[in-house]
Amino acid sequence: MSVRVRYAPSPTGSPHVGNLRTAVFDWLAARKYGGQFVARLEDTDRDPARYKPEGIREIEESLKWLGIEPDEWWVTGGPYAPYIQSERLDLYQSAANRLIASGMAYKCFCTEERLAAMRAQQQAQGAPTGYDRACRNMPVEQRRELESRGVPYTVRLAVPLDGVTAYSDLVYGDVTFENRTVDDQVLLKSNGWPTYHLAVVVDDHEMHITHVIRGEDWMPSTPKQVLIYQALEWEQPIWVHIPLTLGHDRKKLSKRHGATQFTEFIRQGYLPEAMFNFLVLLGWSPGDDNREVMTVAEILERFDLSGIGRNPAVFDYDKLRWMNGEHIRRCDHRRLADLCVPFLHEAGLMGAPPTPGERACLERVLPLMVERMHLLSDAPALMAPFFRDPVEPDPTGLRKWLTGADARRRLDMACVLLESDCSDLTEEAAEAVVNRVAEAMGTSRAPVIHTIRVAVTGTTVGAGLFETLRTLGRETVIRRLRRAMEWVVE
């Protein structure tokens, strides 16, 4: 079988990480089994509260950023174009007509007012809400009379009134629904536009989709689609429902848990390979070795649809941050520097593009800071002391290490030694200065190290002091030590 999978987002805003996890699984399945990854824009819901055309660009950017650009989609086209549902309306009308002719669908002339009153009555009686099938057995003469007057109608699926509808799922095995629990779903709206259930079946069939990979929350709608496949005498795809993504409270992931829109994670400074790695592990296991940090190539080598489990996956933000840090440390430093530039520019630390001097500084500093980085957005706070003199130290450093005559003496002695005996500020020379100051003052190295660190960086934490001083250079260190003497509180 030539595997064809599809990702079918709706333009309702920035894509949700749960939806893009499905796209990742789609891409992996296509690459693993030598198939095609198709993306189709499901834009038939034009409710202004939900339809956000600007979301199309974010969908495109997210797929490209993740490195999973589809083989066929509305951007580049393909053999089954168009890949936008609003441009395929004639196909849905044709399928609806076939369903009506076969008796598996019928025209419903109920008004919105009648349907609202029906639902209100059902709720008042504590009964399940659903269409009461008033138009299903309408006499032919009455239907013809309504049609002749041009009364608007929808097309509904005629679900069998008894028996069961069953299908086989690659993750959940054999699944059975009692037909009496399945509503007569609207397939075609009165304006001629399809609902999801009709459009998705028609498009998957026409585009020769072999595997439908989607969240398990779509399982209740699957029997309706199975019935449509059967009525149209089309072969069903292989159903693959993946577990839901939950927050830490075991409820469906939403904004209350933290960032959920994919562009938020890009803005926070996550690497695409880290997001890919993390999303894959939400519901899929690589097997016996329990590896977590993997490259895309390593994941692809191990990937198999049989590795998808049934247990809901918890979106652990702390784990994602940790994993991103691991991928940062694996990242080529030149590429990592390129990725840091937008964040440093936004913080006002360098131009866009950076000057040769700024770029050289970044490449010198990056190896010192990479172990401390969890996000690209950490770069400005970590690297600021290397791009500009501190305006003033943080309050903790000021109170503890820049207070009293001893602090002034440490700074002064360090300056004298750097000016007189240290023409080349290597790490060894910097350490020798600290040792001589400590020895002269009859103290341990710790207070000398902390005082100098606060003086030259403005912070109490950072990379190793001797590496920091070497990277800053002798002239900058002396200038900052002299300036820090003005901060000392007697």
Residue-wise pLDDT tens digits, 438-480: 999 999 999 999 999 999 999 888 899 999 999 999 999 999 9
With a cut of 80, say whether residue 55 has pLDDT above it: yes
Q: Are residues 70 and 129 in the same domain?
A: no
Q: Are residues 96 and 221 in the same domain?
A: yes
Check residue 59 and give its pLDDT.
95
- Chain centre to alpha carbon of residue 225: 28
Please identify which residue in the block is written with the tokens 């989709």. Answer: 209
CA angle 335, 339, 341 (to 5 degrees): 115
Check residue 288 and give its pLDDT.
72
- Tally of domains in the chain: 4
Q: Do the domain assignments include residue 325?
A: no
End-to-end CA distance of the chain: 81
Q: Do the domain assignments include residue 83?
A: no
Q: Do the domain assignments include residue 81?
A: no
Confidence of residue 91 (pLDDT cuts 50, 70, 90): very high
Residue type, 311: N
Tell me which of 259 and 489 has the higher pLDDT. 489
With a cut of 90, say whether residue 284 has pLDDT above it: yes
- For the residues 419-440, what does the mean pLDDT come to? 92
Check residue 49 and give its pLDDT.
84
CA trace torsion 447, 452, 458, 460 (10° rounding): -30
DSSP string for residues in 468-489: HHHHH-HHHHHHHHHHHTTT-B
CB 220 within 8 A of CB 248: no
Check residue 1 and give its pLDDT.
64
Q: Is 252 an active-site residue?
A: no
With a cut of 80, say whether residue 398 has pLDDT above it: no
Check residue 462 and give its pLDDT.
87
Q: Are residues 288 and 306 in the same domain?
A: yes
Check residue 2 and give its pLDDT.
86
Contacts of 113 (CB under 8 A, 6+ apart): none
Check residue 489 and give its pLDDT.
84
Confidence of residue 289 (pLDDT cuts 50, 70, 90): confident
Residue type, 221: S
Q: Are residues 226 and 97 in the same domain?
A: yes
- Alpha-carbon distance of 318 to 324, in angstroms, equals 10
With a cut of 90, say whether residue 57 has pLDDT above it: yes
Contacts of 27 (CB under 8 A, 6+ apart): 37, 68, 70
For residue 337, the domain's CATH number is: 1.10.8.70
**What separation in angstroms does the CA of 88 have from each of 44, 83, 95, 236?**
10, 8, 12, 20
| φ and ψ of 241, to 5 deg | -100, 125
Q: Are residues 250 and 229 in the same domain?
A: no
Residue-wise pLDDT tens digits, 210-231: 999 999 999 999 999 999 999 9
Q: Are residues 407 and 286 in the same domain?
A: no
Which residues make beta-bridge pairs with 246? 252, 314
Residue 135's domain comprises 88-242
Q: Do the domain assignments include residue 80?
A: no
Boundary (domain end) residue, out of 284, 314, 344: 314
Q: Are residues 238 and 264 in the same domain?
A: no
CB atoms within 10 A of CB 116: 10
Confidence of residue 251 (pLDDT cuts 50, 70, 90): confident
Tell which residue, 458, 440, 437, 441, has the closest CA to residue 449: 437
Q: Are residues 183 and 94 in the same domain?
A: yes
With a cut of 90, say whether residue 45 has pLDDT above it: no
Q: From its phi and psi, is residue 459 left (phi > 0), alpha (psi between -120 and 50) or beta?
A: beta
Check residue 424 and give its pLDDT.
87
Least confident of 14-18, 141-145, 308-312, 395-399: 395-399
Q: Are residues 287 and 420 in the same domain?
A: no
Catalytic residue among 64, 251, 255, 319: 255
Confidence of residue 290 (pLDDT cuts 50, 70, 90): confident
Strands of 296-414, DSSP E: 313-314
Which residues make beta-bridge pairs with 239? 169, 212
Q: Which helix (H) or strand (E) holds 39?
A: strand 36-39
Q: Do the domain assignments include residue 454?
A: yes
Confidence of residue 58 (pLDDT cuts 50, 70, 90): very high
With a cut of 90, say whether residue 326 has pLDDT above it: yes
Q: Are residues 249 and 347 in the same domain?
A: no
Average per-residue pLDDT for the chain: 93
- Alpha-carbon distance of 283 to 308, in angstroms, equals 6
Check residue 100 and give its pLDDT.
97
- Alpha-carbon distance of 250 to 255, in angstroms, equals 14
Q: Do the domain assignments include residue 117?
A: yes
Q: Are residues 198 and 267 in the same domain?
A: no
Q: From its phi and psi, is residue 475 left (phi > 0), alpha (psi between -120 and 50) or beta?
A: alpha
Q: Do the domain assignments include residue 320?
A: no
> Which tokens is 282 given?
């939400």
- For the residues 201-217, what does the mean pLDDT come to? 97
Residue type, 310: R
Least confident of 60-64, 125-129, 159-163, 277-281: 125-129
